[in-house]
Amino acid sequence: MLQQTQVATVTPYYDRFLKQFKDLKTLAEASSQKVLKAWEGLGYYARARNLHRAAGIVLKEHGDAIPSHWDEFRRLPGVGDYIAAAVLSLAFGKPYPVVDGNVKRVLARLLAIKEPVNKASSAKKFRELADPLLDEKIPGTFNQAMMELGAVVCKPRQPLCNGCPVRKFCSAYQADTVLNYPVKLKKPASPQYRIAVGVVFKKDRVLITRRKPSGLLGGLWEFPGGKIEKGEGPEAACIREIKEETNLVIQVDWQLSRVRHAYTHFKIVMDVFCCSFVSGRVRLKGPVDHRWIHIDQVDDFPFPKANHKFFDELRKYALK
């Protein structure tokens, strides 16, 4: 949960998750929809899907004992070098250095490293730098100390060098060049896409569709729609997308909302329309499942955060 996400955001999710899935077996045997629902709003849903799959593999291949050998643990879905090093050093005392964003910043300053920290190949370079520093007797404690040093002392913009326990060995501090590190490559500006989405009413029910299990927001439910093409109006895009995805002919009645949402690599502006079913039978192309639900059932399904941004308006309209 903590990958790309702050502790304050994660804590309530973590507590609820452990209450709901009290052990590995419970998690492994839960439905994917239940796991995604518990993750709803936390983003990066591949983490939830991978964790769920990993629990299934561990249960099947190792009983309910988490494998403590690098190769076996590293093979699990969603486990990269960072997660493997973190879990194996913290939980099993294995001598692997953990290199996250905070640790990279500490190392870059401590050793005056000019390698950009956001370059794809930098993880390997920083792991090699961290390796000789690792205290092999207490690798878990060492790794936590390094991460904590980065999080609370060696902060990105205002490092607290005067109270820093390693300032005597810190190259950047000694050379008075602390804020020159870490070096970062400039990121290209993230593109913005226009999206049109339809809440299609058929009597007192609305249509929701489920995204394919892999990829962005994989396995989540949503209201159908898609990207507005060049030169196309949002209403026309809504009608076209719904026809292409579900085979239904609909009419756009009025605009419910305009939602802005930022993902890691792009932003969306989403026009949401209330629509009426006109004709046709659902035949899906893209989505893998669909339901006609009553509005007060939306909480039973995991939806992306961007959809949640118009739920209050939708409830107000549909349940009035």
Q: Which residues bind ligand SF4 (CB under 6 A)?
A: 106, 109-110, 153-154, 159-161, 164, 166-167, 170, 172-173, 178
Phi, psi of 161, rounded to the nearest 5 degrees: -60, -35
CB of 283 vs ligand SF4, minimal distance in Å: 59
Smallest distance from the beta carbon of 132 to ligand SF4, in angstroms?
17
Nearest CA to 197 out of 310, 39, 318, 44 is that of 310
Query: Closest distance between ligand SF4 and the C-beta of residue 110, in Å?
Result: 5
DSSP state of 137: T
Residues 118 and 121: their CA atoms lie apart, in Å, by 8
Q: Which is nearer to ligand SF4, 55 or 170 (CB)?
A: 170
Query: Which DSSP state fits 288?
Result: S
CB of 187 to ligand SF4, least distance (A): 23
Least Å distance, CB 160 to ligand SF4, is 6
CA distance 64 to 60: 8
Buried b (16+ CB within 10 A) or exposed e, 123-150: bebbbebbeeebeeeebbebbeebbebb
d(CA 185, CA 6): 23
Which CB, 108 or 248, lies closer to ligand SF4?
108
The set of residues, in sequence order, having a beta carbon less than 8 Å from that of 280 and lying 6+ positions away, is 246, 247, 248, 249
Identity of the residue, 88 or 110, whose beta carbon is nearer to ligand SF4 in the bound complex: 110
Least Cα distance to 301 among 18, 5, 33 occurs for 33
Shortest spacing between CB 97 and ligand SF4, in angstroms: 16
Question: How near is the Cβ of 151 to ligand SF4 at its closest, in Å?
Answer: 11
Question: Is the Cβ of residue 175 or residue 278 nearer to ligand SF4 in the bound state?
Answer: 175
Task: Give 206's contacts (C-beta < 8 A, 6+ positions apart).
Answer: 199, 200, 223, 292, 293, 294, 295, 318
160 vs 278, which CB is nearer to ligand SF4?
160
Nearer to ligand SF4, 180 or 297 (CB): 180
Q: How far is the CB of 148 from ligand SF4 (least distance, A)?
A: 12
Tokens 């099993």 belong to residue: 92
Nearer to ligand SF4, 173 or 201 (CB): 173
Measured from the Cβ of residue 287, the count of other Cβ atoms closer than 10 Å reads: 17
d(CA 83, CA 99): 10
Q: Which is nearer to ligand SF4, 105 or 210 (CB)?
A: 105
